[in-house]
Structure 1
Amino acid sequence: MALTKEQTQHFYHKLLHMQKELSGEKKKTQSMTEEVGELSNGVDNHMADHGTLVTDRMTDQTVKEIDRELLEEVNHALQKIKDGTYGICEKTGQAIPYERLEAVPYARMTVEAQADVEDDLETDAPSFEREFHQQVKDLSNKETIDQKSSQTYEILDREQDSN
């Protein structure tokens, strides 16, 4: 069922809000040399302090990259609203259910079409990429996040045992 004008306006405003949040002023991060300089001036700095600094920096970069990609998706969805194609699956041409758009307003496909695309990517990907995607799924899956039964934990245990 196609979206009503009111529903489309609702998603338009929701996407604009997301766009504003994603493109808003981000906190300015110190350069790596400034941060390392601050650590090296201390007397009892531990190597772990430097490791934490690097990990924090990598985390910040990852979050920025995710925000950038999400902003691209939001902008794409806003363009689809302008073109009159918003809410239509890019793979099947079917209407994307309202509930899915409410959860993911920048969705390009129905859940079924998205799952098919992800399955195709998984089977076409090299084995290390498939393993990585499975690990990400394990770490974000609410059922396995606190369990040691996931593939990710098995790999970590094997690596730890080999050391």
Structure 2
Amino acid sequence: MALTKEQTQHFYHKLLHMQKELSGEKKKTQSMTEEVGELSNGVDNHMADHGTLVTDRMTDQTVKEIDRELLEEVNHALQKIKDGTYGICEKTGQDIPYERLEAVPYARMTVEAQADVEDDLETDAPSFEREFHQQVKDLSNKETIDQKSSQTYEILDREQDSN
């Protein structure tokens, strides 16, 4: 069932809000040199402090990249609203269910079509690339971001145990 005008307006405003949040002024981070300089001025610095700094920087860069990609998806969805194609699966041409759009307003495909595309990507990608994408998912998933049960933490634990 196609979206009503009111439903489309609801998603339009939701997407505009997401666009505003994602393109807003981000917290300015110090340069790596400044941060390392601050650490190196101390007397009892430990190598782990430097490792933590590098890890934090990499996490920040990953989150910024995810935000940039999400902003592109939101902008694409807003363009689809203007074009009159919002809520239609790009792969199958079927209507994307309202519930899916409520959860993921920038969705391009139905759940089934998205799963097919992801399965195709996973089977075609080299194993290190699949592992990397799983780690990015873990880092960006609010449910696993602070949990030791994610694949990313399992890999880090294995590497630490082997050293």
**TM-score, normalised to structure 2's length?**
0.85
The 1:143/1:39 distance shift into structure 2, 3 A limit, reads closer
Distance, in Å, in 1 between the alignment partners of 2:43 and 2:28 is 27
1:45-77 alpha-carbon deviations (Å, 9 max, x no partner): 111111111111111111100000000000000
Report the more deviating stretch, 137-146 or 75-84: 137-146
The 1:31/1:102 distance shift into structure 2, 3 A limit, reads same
Cα displacement (A) at 1:97: 0.1
Distance, in Å, in 2 between the alignment partners of 1:38 and 1:142 is 31
Distance, in Å, in 2 between the alignment partners of 1:149 and 1:17 is 32
The 1:139/1:78 distance shift into structure 2, 3 A limit, reads closer
> Rg: which structure is higher?
1
Cα displacement (A) at 1:124: 1.0
Matched, 1:54 2:54: yes
1:19-39 alpha-carbon deviations (Å, 9 max, x no partner): 000000001001111111111
SS of structure 2 residue aligned to 1:114: helix
Distance, in Å, in 2 between the alignment partners of 1:25 and 1:82 is 26
SS of structure 2 residue aligned to 1:149: coil
Cα displacement (A) at 1:95: 0.2
Q: Superposition pairs for residues 99-114 of structure 1, below 5 Å? A: 99-114=99-114
> Which ranges of structure 1 fall in alignment gaps of 5 or more residues?
none
Cα displacement (A) at 1:82: 0.2
Are the equivalent residues in 1 in contact too, given 2:63–2:140 (CA < 8 A)?
A: no
Q: Superposition pairs for residues 1-163 of structure 1, below 5 Å? A: 1-133=1-133, 159=159, 162-163=162-163
**TM-score, normalised to structure 1's length?**
0.85
The 1:158/1:49 distance shift into structure 2, 3 A limit, reads closer
Distance, in Å, in 1 between the alignment partners of 2:53 and 2:35 is 8
> Which ranges of structure 2 fall in alignment gaps of 5 or more residues?
none
The 1:79/1:140 distance shift into structure 2, 3 A limit, reads closer
The 1:94/1:146 distance shift into structure 2, 3 A limit, reads same
